[in-house]
Amino acid sequence: MRRALRYIAWGLAAIVALALIAWFWAYQVAMGRYEKEWTVHSASFPVPFPLTEQELTVLRAERIAAGASPTDPLAGVDQNAIALERAIVRGRHLVESRTSCDACHAKDFGGGTIIDVALVGHWVAPNLTSGKGSVTQGFTANDWDRAVRHGVRRNGRTSSMPSQDFVNLTDRELSDIVAYIHSMPPVDRDLGPVKFGPVFSFLIATDPKTFVATTLDHNKPHIAEPPAALANAELGQHIVQVCRGCHGANLSGGKLAGDPDMPIVANLTPHETGLKSWNEADFLRAIREGKRKDGSAINVAMPWQAYGKMTDTELKAVWAYLQTVPPREKGNH
């Protein structure tokens, strides 16, 4: 009996030792990927973007109508202040309706804890304000570009930012978002660094594509201006980029790998298992009210409440684009 117990004890000790060795290996691999340095192109854009010629034309007309001299109606006008005010409005709309930055970084942009479980790890979305614990103090346009559109920290190393959703943001859109973030009051909140527990370590070590930076072209140039605000497929294709993180590159949905609690993601293509039987009104109702064509409720994991804040033009543009994508069976990401 004692010998059997001894063998059991040795066996358990061996299992524990192997588990510790495996964890050590996974942690080293994960940290190696997290600390990998990336070469990213240099990007530059103004914050805010200056007023366009069209905006200046309208502003001149408004000034003249208000009694300003027709010779120089913009004399004494702080054009940069007006541009900043408009950029903040556009940036707020982008954040609240399309990019949902506040879903992770908190409504006050002071940062939020996504996961803090010893066996899993400590994963945070950092403080973006100018307060204590901020990671963006002194950020240049290039730093914002790498952080948001490339998944790379200021030090040039990997971040956990889901940049696949934002890589196609134009310079002007990113500038508008930065202007909006800069308008937020400073928040003192230091959430500490990201830490990998056993679960995070194994997930990252066994999947080289866990970090989005490994999947992006870091030398691809970015477009300066977004498509015109028209309800067409061009604008829709631009907006739909934020949907691909969950619905897949082909928008055909299915089960998300690595997240057992996430519901099955819907197929957005015009396939029998997707939106083939839907029309524009069905789609608008789904996004505005969170109800499918059959009246059933859409899971709150789908941020329809945020997307529902898009304008009619934006949502109709999305629908117009979805009609152009090839039909695919559900689950074929």
Number of domains present in the structure of the chain = 2
Q: Residue 19: its pLDDT value, please?
A: 75
47 token code pair: 């914050």
Phi-psi region of 111 (alpha: psi -120 to 50; beta: other; left: phi over 0): left
Place of tokens 């952080």: 147
What are the respective helix, strand and coil percentages of the chain, to the nearest 5?
A: 45, 5, 50
My answer on whether 159 and 194 are in the same domain is yes
The 10s digit of each residue's pLDDT in 191-235 is: 999 999 999 999 999 998 999 999 999 999 999 999 999 999 999
Q: What is the mean pLDDT of the chain?
A: 93
Query: Of 10-14, 263-267, 271-275, 297-301, which one has max mean pLDDT?
Result: 271-275
19 token code pair: 């588990």
Give yes or no for residue 250 having a pLDDT over 90: yes
CB 271, CB 277: distance < 8 Å: no
Which of 204, 226, 248 is where one domain is finished?
Answer: 226
My answer on whether 221 and 239 are in the same domain is no
Domain that holds residue 68: 1-226
My answer on whether 72 and 197 are in the same domain is yes
- Name the pTM for this structure: 0.91
Q: Residue 255: its pLDDT value, please?
A: 85
My answer on whether 171 and 32 are in the same domain is yes
Kindly write down the DSSP assignment for every residue of 53-100, as one continuous string.
Answer: HHHHHHHHHHHHHTT--SSSTTTT--HHHHHHHHHHHHHHHHIIIII-
- Determine the average pLDDT of the residues in 235-247: 93
My answer on whether 279 and 168 are in the same domain is no
Q: How far apart are CA 321 and CA 304, in angstroms?
A: 18
Phi-psi region of 136 (alpha: psi -120 to 50; beta: other; left: phi over 0): alpha
Q: Give the strands of the sheet with 112-117, arranged side by side.
A: 112-117, 121-125, 195-196
Q: How far apart are CA 105 and CA 113, in angstroms?
A: 8
Q: How far apart are CA 220 and CA 285, in angstroms?
A: 36
CB 329, CB 271: distance < 8 Å: yes
My answer on whether 67 and 184 are in the same domain is yes
pLDDT band, residue 264 (cuts 50/70/90): confident
Q: Look at strands 112-117 and 195-196 and give their pairing.
A: unpaired
Cβ neighbors of 314 (< 8 A, separation 6 or more) are 97, 98, 229, 235, 239
First vs last C-alpha separation in the chain = 55
My answer on whether 325 and 197 are in the same domain is no
pLDDT-above-70 percentage for the chain: 93
The 10s digit of each residue's pLDDT in 270-325 is: 999 999 999 999 999 999 999 999 999 999 889 999 999 999 999 999 999 999 99
Q: Look at strands 121-125 and 195-196 and give their pairing.
A: antiparallel
Give yes or no for residue 3 having a pLDDT over 70: no
Q: Residue 15: its pLDDT value, please?
A: 75
Q: How far apart are CA 269 and CA 302, in angstroms?
A: 16
Give yes or no for residue 243 having a pLDDT over 80: yes
Q: How far apart are CA 146 and CA 43, in angstroms?
A: 8
Which of 226, 247, 271 is where one domain is finished?
Answer: 226
Q: How far apart are CA 241 and CA 227, in angstroms?
A: 13
Q: Residue 16: its pLDDT value, please?
A: 66
DSSP-derived 3-state class of residue 117: strand
Kindly write down the DSSP assignment for every residue of 131-153, as one continuous string.
Answer: STTBS-TT--HHHHHHHHHS-B-
The 10s digit of each residue's pLDDT in 118-150 is: 999 999 999 999 999 999 999 999 999 999 999
My answer on whether 221 and 234 are in the same domain is no
My answer on whether 79 and 140 are in the same domain is yes
Which stretch of DSSP H or E encloses residue 115?
strand 112-117
My answer on whether 275 and 199 are in the same domain is no
My answer on whether 253 and 184 are in the same domain is no
Q: Residue 251: its pLDDT value, please?
A: 95
CATH number for the domain spanning 296: value is 1.10.760.10
Which of 168, 203, 226 is where one domain is finished?
Answer: 226
Give yes or no for residue 326 having a pLDDT over 90: yes
My answer on whether 194 and 249 are in the same domain is no
Phi-psi region of 76 (alpha: psi -120 to 50; beta: other; left: phi over 0): left
Which of 176-180, 204-208, 262-266, 293-297 shows the lowest mean pLDDT across its residues? 262-266
Which stretch of DSSP H or E encloses residue 123?
strand 121-125
309 token code pair: 């804040």
The 10s digit of each residue's pLDDT in 64-91 is: 999 999 999 999 999 999 999 999 999 9
